[in-house]
């Protein structure tokens, strides 16, 4: 039997699979404070020369501003409202907003994280009606050449689906904090995709998108995902601490 269904026109399509998967994928907006030590004025030689010109003292610090960033995630427990994402997506967040595919938005609480595995668990409370969750596959069964789909929020433009294959397995030192054993894929992964799922053609999560390799910070056909089995183990550790 064919893995990919066909439209009445006779062309293959992944639309039925995506109709069942994408409602569980979310966009994540993070707001955080820029610390004074990070303020660009303190590192700008022109700013220093301006102060010297008018005989003004160089400040030890400057009041920090606000920074906004975007990422992705997916629901792992619909009953409890648990959302999984990368820990680096929500690092130092003052506020986290989760937006569902149907554009409903909710404030999220950071339930816990595991920086070594680069995962964080968020909780939506009260739990939105009609949530659906994704199920995990066994990433140990992946082989180079398997078809995969990456779903996320690249550049903050909204939910986007890209497709490709598993390009390599066991890539080392390329993810956040030098994570090893990553899945390499040519499914387009761009800034903002971090935390979104990498799924197989059965709709199972086989990885969580975590890094990309590109000279300008954009996709060049080389992206990386944290394997699902590692993610599941880290998720269980975080929930066990609750």
The one catalytic residue in 114, 118, 186, 200 is 118
SS3 readout for 207-238: EEEEEECCCCCCCCCCEEEEEHHHHHHHHHHH
Residue 39 falls in the annotated catalytic set:
no
Measured distance CA(147)–CA(84) in Å, rounded: 23
How, if at all, do strands 25-33 and 66-77 pair? antiparallel
Measured distance CA(197)–CA(99) in Å, rounded: 16
Nearest in space to 199 (alpha carbons), one of 4, 18, 7, 2: 18
Tokens 């992944």 -> residue: 14
Measured distance CA(65)–CA(46) in Å, rounded: 20
The one catalytic residue in 88, 113, 176, 200 is 88
Measured distance CA(203)–CA(195) in Å, rounded: 16
Residue 88 falls in the annotated catalytic set:
yes
The one catalytic residue in 69, 113, 167, 194 is 194
Measured distance CA(206)–CA(186) in Å, rounded: 15
Active centre residues (catalytic):
88, 118, 194
């Amino acid at each position: 039997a064919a893995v990919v269904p066909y439209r009445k026109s006779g062309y293959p399509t992944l639309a039925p699979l995506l109709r069942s998967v994408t409602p569980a994928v979310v966009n994540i907006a993070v707001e955080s404070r820029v610390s004074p030590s990070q303020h660009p004025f303190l590192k700008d030689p022109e700013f220093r020369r301006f102060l010297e010109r008018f005989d003004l003292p160089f400040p030890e610090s400057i009041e920090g501003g606000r920074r906004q960033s975007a990422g992705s995630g997916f629901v792992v427990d619909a009953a409890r409202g648990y959302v999984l994402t990368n820990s680096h997506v929500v690092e130092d967040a003052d506020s986290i907003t989760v937006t569902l595919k149907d554009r409903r938005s909710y404030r999220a609480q950071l339930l816990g994280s595991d920086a070594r595995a680069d995962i964080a668990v968020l909780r939506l409370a009260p739990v939105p009606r009609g949530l659906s969750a994704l199920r995990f596959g066994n990433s140990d069964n992946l082989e180079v050449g398997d078809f995969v789909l990456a779903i996320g929020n690249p550049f903050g433009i909204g939910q986007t689906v890209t497709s490709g294959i598993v390009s390599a397995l066991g890539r080392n030192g390329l993810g956040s904090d030098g994570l090893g054993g990553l899945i390499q894929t040519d499914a387009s992964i761009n800034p903002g995709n971090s935390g979104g799922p990498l799924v197989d053609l059965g709709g199972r999560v086989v990885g969580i998108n975590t890094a990309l390799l590109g000279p300008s910070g954009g996709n060049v056909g080389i992206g990386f995902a944290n394997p699902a089995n590692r993610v599941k183990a880290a998720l269980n550790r975080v929930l066990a601490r609750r």
